[in-house]
Structure 1
Amino acid sequence: MSPIVLGPSTIASQFWCEMAVDLRREYGEVKTPEKEIGSEIHKDRFLEVLEEIIVEIKTPGDKLHSNVHNMSVGLELYQKEGLTRELPILFKFDSALIMGIIDEIKEIKEVEGIGNKKKAHEKTQVVEMKTRKSLNPPSPQQIIRDKMQGMIYWYGLKSMIDKKTEMGDFWTAYGVDLVENDFNDLILSEQYMKSLEIKENAQKEYGTLLSIGSIIDKTLKEATKLPELSETIEIIYIHQKTLQEVHRERYKFDERFFTRGMRWALEYWSGKREPTSVGEANNWKCDFCSYYTVCPAIHKKWRQGD
């Protein structure tokens, strides 16, 4: 059985409409102008703190190396500046592997203690940024979905800080076969190494399973050096046209809500249950859905209305 590998935004979307998640698996992602604008805004924020290097991805090894490299560079920047954006993470929850990209982590000071024993401690805060077409604040249902996504990132980063992510998780998540490949075999494509400007005489050493394993090991060690996580997660909602902040949500990681929610979500991915549609009270969500015309739940309502 293939391992379950998921992204935080996919899991969080189940808290909006699981049927839409199921339909996306069947019909693919539907691109919208709003999603494209949102991606551009995220990219612009990333370019404020880091330089983009365009690479040519040809193999699973290329993708693995690219993400581990971005993780390493992001962690290095955080150590220097107390801020980084678009930080890749990888972790396990039960038997599922979760990998995604945190919008931002920043260093903050939190005062702890009582009375004269109060002391400021350096903490790492997870920050998510959402873009909105409207100047109106998000609905409670949208906030629940986004809070779950923020908690997934928080849990994932804490897992890496606490040394719960292992090197083997990377090979599995990116589909790099350790049986077929010897440690001295090249797993990076020539095109990828050329786009990184790796000299030809260095490619044989740079692109091997062994050398990439060393990079993963180094990066995992760097993650453990992050300051302790603040329990407060922040979500900032920004208007797409004006970049004006329309809402800011601050909340604490809720272990009980998170654990129950993750186990409920993973029941669908492990085939233990069929996808659920929104209840009658949330039918209004269907008006904003890209899969409206192919949704079996909508067709059922139409038939009942005949």
Structure 2
Amino acid sequence: MALIESALLAVKRSSFSSSIHISKSLSLSSSSFNVNNVRSIESISIHSKRRLSTCCQDVKVGDIEDLGNSVNTQKKIRKLDSLLHRFRRKRALSVTDMVQSEWCQKQMEFILLRGKPKATEAMKAGTERHAKLEAEVVQKIKIHVKEIEDSWALKLMNFIVGANQLLFEGLTRELPVIGYLEGVWMVGVIDEIRLPINESVQSPFLVENKTRSRDTLPAEAQKRNSKLQLMCYKYMWDNIVTSNFPASRFYTFYGLNSHYILSQEVQDLAAASGFPANTLDDIVMYYRNTCAVLPPSHNELLIRYEFQRDHSLLGEEKFTYDPAWLMSQLRCSLEFWLGEQEASYVSPDERWKCRFCNFATICPNNSTESETKQAETELDTVSKTEIRRPS
């Protein structure tokens, strides 16, 4: 069963408007914020018994030789054979997908074709730290749902109450976001959002918390990767709050019934949080209204680096949002996902990444000429097997 996180305010609040007063505000410096000043909210963990579905149907494709030289046909075949269609057509691309592609496209391809390696101890420690930070401002509860519409209703409720907490209390953490960007659906979870102190314009600050197994700051390639992640979140946030959410496209992509009557438990939770709803479309309406009153995020972004052993602060890096650089990175990554280019290898000056890659021994970039041919043949066999695999 898939575990889906959502949230519910512990106290009843009416649906908010642009006249909401922010009772607490925070500075960008993490040291000046006291989490004890933030009231706890409850979170809903949903055990969904159904996988997320989509309206996309499997399309049978014959031999390429039989399809002729039509440009449109070739584009269609390339789309059906793309990594996006084969591995993400029933769910959106995640910000993690984009970031991993920037780290090494070939490694991302291996992960999709061969499976994700087991989490390391450092990765587990990072996950536990994020859960602890979330628990400082969020209290979780669990409910079971059977239908995908209930699951999505709770996901959108999670955003609504998280945004509500930000406006009322100045801080929220682990906020889920979804948006239609550059022609694809994308999802992510923002580590932390704060409201500033002593600024006339209350533009939310986005913060990314990173843990380190060593008491040193990361290499430049790792910093660049983290900056890309946080810039993606800003791009998504700003798109969400400045553009009208494409509800019809959303329902179609995920195969949702907008008039679905929510389960009684979900209706009760919605009413308790201040926005009574009967259908999924009601929740989407509240979601749209919430986005409409939120301001674009601050152009200054913050990454915090902690030492895993004692959670001591190793350093903070503030940097300015660079939309031109972000768009170039997104286009490069999307070309890879859409099958418009082959997976690229790391640059020669970043070959050190290969020492930490689980696929280094079979990667053509690290093999002799004979090993390269063998690895390419093996990868091609796996790829063809994946194409024939039923969804």
CA deviation digits over 1:103-143, x for unaligned, max 9?
A: 011001476xxxxxxxx332211111111111110110001
Equivalent residue for 2:379?
Answer: none
Shift, 1:47, TM fit: 1.0
Which of 203, 218, 240 aligns to 1:123? It is 203
Once the two structures are superposed, the pairs formed by residues 3-82 of structure 1 within 5 Å of their partners are 5-30=92-117, 31-56=119-144, 58-82=146-170
Choose 1 or 2 for highest CA Rg: 2
Shift of 1:6: 0.8
Q: 1:66 to 1:289 in 2, by over 3 A?
A: farther
Task: Spell out the pairing of 1:129-168 with structure 2 (5 A cutoff).
Answer: 129-168=209-248
Give 1:264-283 correspondences, 5 Å limit: 264-283=332-351
Name the aligned partner's letter for residue 351 of structure 2: N
CA distance in 1, matches of 2:153, 2:284: 9
Q: Aligned residue for 1:285?
A: 353
Name the CA shift for 1:301/1:261 in 2 (closer, same or farther; >3 Å): farther
Q: 1:299 to 1:172 in 2, by over 3 A?
A: farther
Paired amino acid for 1:262: L
What code does the residue aligned with 1:107 have? L
Structure 1 runs not aligned, ≥5 long: 112-119, 200-205
SS of equivalent to 1:121:
coil
Q: 1:16 to 1:60 in 2, by over 3 A?
A: same
Structure 1 distance, partners of 2:197, 2:161, is: 23
- d(CA) in 1 for partners of 2:92, 2:368: 31
Q: Percent identity?
A: 24
Amino acid at match of 1:11: M
Query: Which of 211, 215, 224 is the equivalent residue of 2:292?
Result: 224
- Give the structure 2 partner of residue 241 of structure 1: 309
1:295 matches 2:369 = no
Q: 2:179 aligns with which of 85, 88, 91?
A: 91
Q: What is the DSSP-based 3-state SS (H/G/I as helix, E as strand, rest coil) of the residue aligned with 1:248?
A: strand
Cα distance in structure 2, aligned partners of 1:59 and 1:241: 41
**CA deviation digits over 1:180-219, x for unaligned, max 9?**
x4x5445x6x7xx66x6959xxxxxx997xx111112212
Q: Give the corresponding residue for 1:203.
A: none
The normalised TM-score by structure 2 is: 0.65
Runs of 4 or more above 6 Å deviation: none
Secondary structure of 1:249 counterpart = strand
Whole-Å separation in 1 of the counterparts to 2:140 and 2:311 = 22
Following the alignment from structure 2 to structure 1, what is the Cα–Cα distance between the partners of residues 99 and 319?
A: 16
**Secondary structure of residue in 2 paired with 1:54:** strand
- When structure 1 is superposed on structure 2, of 240-249 and 223-232 the one drifting more is 223-232
Distance 2:277 2:369 in 1: 55
Work out whether residues 109 and 121 of structure 1, in 8 Å CA contact, stay in contact via their aligned partners in 2.
no
Deviates more, 1:261-270 or 1:164-173: 164-173
Instruction: Report the Cα distance in structure 1 between the residues aligned to 2:360 and 2:317, rounded to whole angstroms.
Output: 30
Alpha-carbon distance, 1:294 to partner? 3.8
Is residue 90–residue 165 contact of structure 1 (8 Å, CA) maintained in 2? no
User: Which residue identity is paired with 2:340?
Assistant: K
Shift of 1:61: 2.6
Query: Normalising by structure 1, what TM-score?
Result: 0.82
How many residues are aligned here?
Answer: 278
AA paired with 2:196?
Answer: I
Cα displacement (A) at 1:257: 0.3
Give unmatched runs, 5+ long, in structure 2.
Answer: 1-79, 270-275, 373-391
Structure 1 residue 212 and structure 2 residue 280: aligned?
Answer: yes
Contact kept? 1:138, 1:247, Cα under 8 Å: no
CA distance in 2: counterparts of 1:248 and 1:215, whole angstroms: 37
**DSSP 3-state at the match of 1:122:** coil
Residue aligning to 1:176: 255
